[in-house]
Amino acid sequence: MASEYLVLHPRKATNRLVFSPYQSWRSNPITVMRVFEKRVEALMTNCILSPSQPIGEVEDYFYRVEFQARGSPHIHMLIWIKDSPKFEEDPDRHVMEFIDRYISCKMSDPDTDPELHKIVSEVQVHSRKHSKSCKKGNVACRFGFPKLPMDKTFITRPPTINCHQKEDQNDADFEAQIEEQKRALAEMQKLAKQTLQPVRDLLMDPGASFSSLTDLLCQCNLTYEQYFAAAQCLANTHVVMLRHHPNDCWVNAYNPDLLRAWKANMDIQYVIDDYSCIMYMMSYVAKPEHEMTEFLKNVIKHVKTSDVNKRDEMKQIMQAYSKHREVSAQEVVARTCSLRLKKCSRSVVFIQTNEEGLKMSHPMSRLERMEPGSVEVWMSGVA
């Protein structure tokens, strides 16, 4: 994304501002954040919410700005599309048609669409070397690259555990039954990974090229039935397996229209698990800062042992937070300039439900006009 920013600097000889794409964006955090904010606004207004409806008619949306490793900004966005098919309520065929209509993993043709080909090549191709972030959790790539090639989009239906306890079955036997099923599923997943490992190894080869999925499977001595069955068992939950040509297995999912407008990396997904989606969004709405948490724990522990009142106790904690939290220059600019860090299509009103919570009384001028015995002295929580 840094390459998209043009930085202004003065030229003394002509006493005017000129654009320089070579000056480091790190030295211009104000320009970076202002441009980022304007780009997000333009993307929402002129593209996502526009009459052209590149991903369908938007009913609701929510997004949150986050700073990568406390550095450059990016957004996490959730969008509700009107009349979109719902997983487990509508046929899978309708869901997959909806996904294919708006999401692509294809490397576009450089001859027929050179503009999109250039953008995809520059910002949507996952590195074969894998970054440090890829290997979190002791895995080869937590983002799942290279993606398994598929000749069509489908939603996996992995084996499930039967949690129904028979009436004449005691608890010990039922728990043993559950554990046995879990072991069987784990063994099935292990076997599936072993079956697919030759495919992943061949996809990792930078010199390898395939005419089709059939060509790839022939080189791995696998039938399509074996390959498809193994793919179904890789995860415990339902997973959308996007249509991927073997030569495009490093291309991340994108929407062609949004990518042309945004010209920076994106990862667009159809939500099939409401709970996982809620947990994902909440983790970014209130993302924890582990180092700061440990520091504040020590501060609070120290303050508790000190002979200070509650006001001074909170003051010390607030000072510790404000003086020790590490933020990037871009985040400093965003907070100092009161730039929007989250936005939602619906307004939020706080409703006080705790009777012992904070209350605000009416102004003294109004209290003086009330009857002596009136108890309506508190302001209402909702206008």
User: What 3-state class would DSSP assign to 104?
Assistant: strand
pLDDT for the residue 207: 84
Q: How far apart are CA 71 and CA 333, in angstroms?
A: 12
Q: What is the pTM of this model?
A: 0.75
The dihedral formed by the CA atoms of 362, 366, 368 and 371, expressed in degrees to the nearest 10: -90
pLDDT for the residue 234: 86
Cβ-Cβ contacts under 8 Å for 291 (sequence gap 6 or more): 326
DSSP state string for 41-101 = HHHIIIIITSTT-BTB-EEEEEEEEEEGGGSSEEEEEEEEETT---BTTB-HHHHHHHHHH
Pick the closest to residue 99 from 260, 272, 276, 279 (CA basis).
272
Contact 67, 89 (CB under 8 A): no
pLDDT for the residue 71: 74
pLDDT for the residue 44: 95
Contact 196, 231 (CB under 8 A): yes
What number of CA atoms fall less than 13 Å from residue 43's CA on the CB side?
20
Q: Classify the C-alpha dihedral 267-273-278-280 as positive or negative.
A: negative
pLDDT for the residue 169: 75
CA 245 to chain centre: 25
Consecutive H or E run containing 17: strand 16-20
* pLDDT digit string (tens) for the chain, length 383 residues: 333 333 333 333 444 445 455 455 667 888 889 999 999 999 999 999 999 999 999 999 999 888 876 578 889 999 999 999 999 899 999 999 999 999 999 999 999 999 999 999 999 999 888 787 788 777 888 888 899 999 999 999 888 777 777 777 787 877 888 888 888 888 999 999 999 999 999 998 888 888 899 999 999 999 999 999 999 888 888 899 999 999 999 999 999 999 999 999 999 999 988 888 888 777 766 665 555 666 677 777 777 777 777 777 777 777 776 666 667 788 888 888 888 888 999 887 767 677 666 677 888 888 888 888 888 888 876 54
pLDDT for the residue 15: 44
Consecutive H or E run containing 166: none
* Cα–Cα separations (whole angstroms), residue 113 to 110, 243, 254: 5, 20, 15
